[in-house]
Structure 1
Amino acid sequence: MTRPVIHYTRCPSVPTVTALAQAQGLLEEEFRNDADVDFEFSSVGFSPKLDYAPADRLWLRNAGHAPAVWKRSLGVACKVVGLAFLEGRYPVLALHGAGIASPADLKGRRVAVFHNPDSPFDLMVAQQLKIYQSALQSAGLSLNDVEPVYLPRFRPGAAKGGFLLSLFQKGLEALEAGEVDAVAASIPPDGGFYPQLNVVYDTRLAPERIQRVHPSVLRGLVVSQALLDERRDLVVRIVERLIEASERAARAPLDALRTLAGDLGQAPETLAAVYENIPQGVRLDLNDDYVASLATQKEFLLRHRLIEHDFDLESWIDYSILADATVLHRQRQALNAEI
């Protein structure tokens, strides 16, 4: 009889605790002697798959929350078992000569929205619109007060330096060509770019978490219902190892930064320039603030028709996995202390 395969994927564009756990060898170590199941670990981008064949029914994904919300809205049977909130720099930028120094100056202006018309769910659109909304709200404005200019999305692998640098380069090109007046893109750690740009607003300055949240900040660990039904024990063990990985990162933050930078194909200084407190930001939790942020995002996606079907958020979250994994982790720590 063919052994079932658990398909475990993570996003290739953002830091995740799964990447740390794999680099540290924790997941391989945990399941090395499990003869009744196979694991397939991979780093893959957004997949529009909604129907899962029997052989693909057992899966976990550690990535931004928005695609998972989209899939759940279309009836994919899955649960959120953990969330992570990684604070970072997500500024709105304009050229000095454009006369845009503050969010209030965005009124009536053209803002760049890179998009992929071939995708049934456009993650970049969801992110950029939320960043612009946060900036505009700080000045009492809304998305109705700006003119979105939809520009063809670049291929993430088309430019050297990784996703973040690629987005910045395309945004700067659009500004210099006069196609738009403002873009949402992080500045890379190269002082040569700064003299050209005004940082109109940075979402990390928003006082409330629900104002700072967008797809690249809030990540989730989402598990297929089939895997929870058939092998819940394995999910608990996986999450326990993710807890261990985040604790190791807290003890050695520079090592964690270098590991994640290598995984994402970026220089450590580039990653450090965007994200704050990575060890804390990749740690899984289901506290009230994280859940409220997820609820805010679901409502945002629904309001802007990025998803078309609502669903009950609370029933989508399984709190028991993280709770049981935490207990297991404490038991293992106690056992190791006795040895």
Structure 2
Amino acid sequence: MSLVVDKKENSKEFVKNILSEIWVTRCPVPTATGISLKRGTLVKKFEKQGIDVAVLQDARKGLSVHHFDHQLPALFREGGNVPALAARSEGAPSRLIGLTWIDEWQVIIVRPDSDISQPEHLKNAKVALPEYADKRAGSIFRAMSLQGIRGALQLANLTFRDVNFIEVPERAGSKENRDASTYWSGLDALITGEVDAVYVKGASAVEAATKRGLKVGIDLDKFEDVTSRVNNGTPRPITVHEDLLEDHFDVVVDFLEELFDTADWAQDHLDEVLVILEDETIAGAESVATAYRNNFHKSLHPSLSEDRLELLKQQKDFLWLHGFLERDVDIETWVDHRPLLEVLKRRQNKNF
């Protein structure tokens, strides 16, 4: 039985009494959730409890909105922080239970004949900035690009005043198109000379840049200053509907435990992880191998460390400052440490 409800006041009682199905959603990026789904281990874990695992990406169209609004009572989400923070700022009943950090080829792309190879070279450059989407919470590509350029400029002690932003379409293809390389509309403007530099990230960006014969001008992943890479996926939140957390705490802990087990497995199975990511990221093998490097497969474990929470706060402050959030978000009241602490306790007990 689905846990979709029409009336908010009924949802809590509904979840509390009946839990035959949980929902899972993730983004086309490396996540323990996605890997666990592909391996079948997440489904097996909950089969033992008589709970089905439904994937939001496979559901009917009307449910897809919950990837962004977090109003589905039995939903787990591991994905970008822009939609998660935007939903929370609009009052979504979500709680933050974990954060991951995976460097994923955050780069500034330029034309083959460009002299832009260092952050300081961006001064006076024309930089692509995707238009706003229909909704504030959906303006993910604009938020990512603006934050990515900020990170590059920061490395050279430059600011937004030192570049010229040129608006480009939100994305290059239809939203129904499974070709993720169409996400990066600024690349076409780069080819025509309308802009000089474009921020991109991930395997889909490798695919898109390679198809167009473009090159990396600045590789943000190579700089020691991690704050220059704070963006939509860094850090990446794991969130859950608060009703599920309160009424079925053990289920939430079990889910998080499965992510830890998957992260353990990934540490010793890089080749298998890369194959899974080809499907997860909608990209080819070479693009996946290029985008995900530096032992990324050893860092899939969730955390709520002070460092990661501070990096998330930096991202939240940026989104709030630049108008991507309806209201400010209090990270401290959003986070719930209990499930993670319980998982760590379970794992410690297993080692004795």
The answer, yes or no, to whether TM exceeds 0.5 is yes
**Aligned position for 1:89:** 105
Structure 2, unaligned stretches of length 5 or more? 2-13, 59-63
TM-score, length of structure 1 as denominator length: 0.85
For residues 43 and 318 of structure 1, do their structure 2 counterparts lie closer, same or farther at Cα, with a shift above 3 Å needed?
same
**Aligned position for 1:235:** 252
**Aligned position for 2:315:** 297
* Mapped partners of 1:216, 1:49: distance in 2: 15
For residues 304 and 215 of structure 1, do their structure 2 counterparts lie closer, same or farther at Cα, with a shift above 3 Å needed?
same
TM-score, length of structure 2 as denominator length: 0.83
Q: Contact 1:46/1:67 (CA < 8 Å) preserved in 2?
A: no
* Mapped partners of 1:101, 1:300: distance in 2: 26
* Mapped partners of 1:159, 1:39: distance in 2: 25
Q: Contact 2:263/2:299 (CA < 8 Å) preserved in 1?
A: no
**Aligned position for 1:314:** 332
How far 1:39 moved relative to its partner?
3.4
* Mapped partners of 1:115, 1:47: distance in 2: 23
Tell me the alpha carbon deviations over residues 266-310 of structure 1, each in whole angstroms, 9 at most, x when there is no partner.
223211201222322322111222111101101110111111411
2:30 counterpart SS class: coil
Instruction: Pick one of 226, 233, 241 that aligns with 1:224.
Output: 241
Residues 1:16 and 2:34 aligned together:
no
**Aligned position for 1:337:** none
* Mapped partners of 1:106, 1:27: distance in 2: 45
**Aligned position for 2:161:** 144
**Aligned position for 2:133:** 117
Q: Aligned letter for 1:325?
A: V
How far 1:192 moved relative to its partner?
6.9
1:148 counterpart SS class: strand
Instruction: Pick one of 194, 200, 204 that aligns with 1:179.
Output: 194
**Aligned position for 1:41:** 55
Q: Contact 1:84/1:281 (CA < 8 Å) preserved in 2?
A: yes
Q: Contact 1:94/1:182 (CA < 8 Å) preserved in 2?
A: yes
Q: Contact 1:210/1:292 (CA < 8 Å) preserved in 2?
A: no
Residues 1:27 and 2:42 aligned together:
yes
Q: Aligned letter for 2:289?
A: A
More displaced stretch, 149-158 vs 242-251? 149-158
Q: Aligned letter for 1:69?
A: L
Q: Contact 2:25/2:75 (CA < 8 Å) preserved in 1?
A: no
State, as a whole percentage, how many aligned pairs show the same letter.
25
Q: Contact 2:76/2:240 (CA < 8 Å) preserved in 1?
A: yes
How far 1:105 moved relative to its partner?
2.9
Structure 1, unaligned stretches of length 5 or more? 335-339
RMSD: 2.8
For residues 207 and 77 of structure 1, do their structure 2 counterparts lie closer, same or farther at Cα, with a shift above 3 Å needed?
same
* Mapped partners of 1:319, 1:332: distance in 2: 20
